Amino acid sequence: MNKRPLPIIVGNWKTTPATLAEALKFIKQLDAKCVASKKKLPKKAYYLAVPDIFIPFLADISKRGYIGSQNVSGVAPGQTTGATIPSQLVSGGADFTLIGHSEVRARGETAEDRSHKLALSLQGKMTTVLCVGEETRDKEGKYLGVLEADIKKSLSLVTRSLFENLIIAYEPVWAIGGKTAATPQECFEVVIALRRALANIAGIDYAKKVHVLYGGTVTEDNARTFIQDGGVDGLLIGRASQDVAAFSNIIKNCHGA
């Protein structure tokens, strides 16, 4: 999965749908829409982060996309109750995972937690999407320093040789689930800062291997503008990915950008 077709369109189902039957129906409909698309799509056109219990079932039937997890634990194999480790997810069919989503952070995840999760996930050769984003945006640009520090702390246990399986998703917290997304220009400024942070950690050659996505109130109407003008390599989509028509339209529109 190192050579990923661009753009990378990642959906996050969160705690939807309510049943496996609904999830299976969604994937079948989504794949059908990808096959029927008049625009030429890559063989694998989307990523979907789904509830862990659905992964083995959806991985078996998804022909046009990758199925992944919304989180992993940062513990090693052994005597820990209630935790799922990367190798278990991979053996169950997961192709990738999200780490550091703002909703997980809000439930108490720390930078130390993220550093262990990222190290274990990337060491397991799992494509890993690290989510970062500021809660508020100040006019002086101090938030850029906060984001750069977040990247450095989260990747503190990751060797640069593992960067080829790393993806960064910029999700400003103030834009998630809101009425207003960041502008492409605001997004572009952050992309520059994130790449600078990555270059400081591992050098420019390794930093170039990392794709950067945008997430936060992405819709059918604005998705393509981030690909064209926001300096990103793809998108991380929440609510719109839970609607098969909206998600398939975003996939088709962005691959035609």
Q: Which residues 6+ apart lie within 8 Å of 32 measured at CB?
A: none
Nearest-angstrom CA–CA distance, 50 and 54:
7
Q: Which residues 6+ apart lie within 8 Å of 168 measured at CB?
A: 129, 130, 132, 151, 194, 198, 210, 211, 212, 213
Taking only Cα atoms into account, the Rg of the chain, rounded to an integer number of angstroms, comes to 17
Q: Which is the catalytic residue, given 101, 134, 211, 255?
A: 101
Q: Which residues 6+ apart lie within 8 Å of 105 measured at CB?
A: none
Q: Which residues 6+ apart lie within 8 Å of 18 measured at CB?
A: none
Q: Which is the catalytic residue, given 109, 148, 171, 255?
A: 171
- Check if the beta carbon of residue 55 is closer than 8 Å to that of residue 69: yes
Q: Which residues 6+ apart lie within 8 Å of 111 measured at CB?
A: 150, 153, 154
Name the β-bridge partners of 214.
Answer: 170, 235
Nearest-angstrom CA–CA distance, 128 and 145:
23
Active site residue 101: yes
The per-residue b/e assignment along 57-88, b for 16 or more CB within 10 angstroms, e otherwise, is: bbbeebebbbbbbbbbbbeeeeeeeeebbbbb
* Angle 176-66-213 from CA coordinates, rounded to 5°: 35
Active site residue 171: yes
Task: List, by residue number, the catalytic residues.
Answer: 101, 171
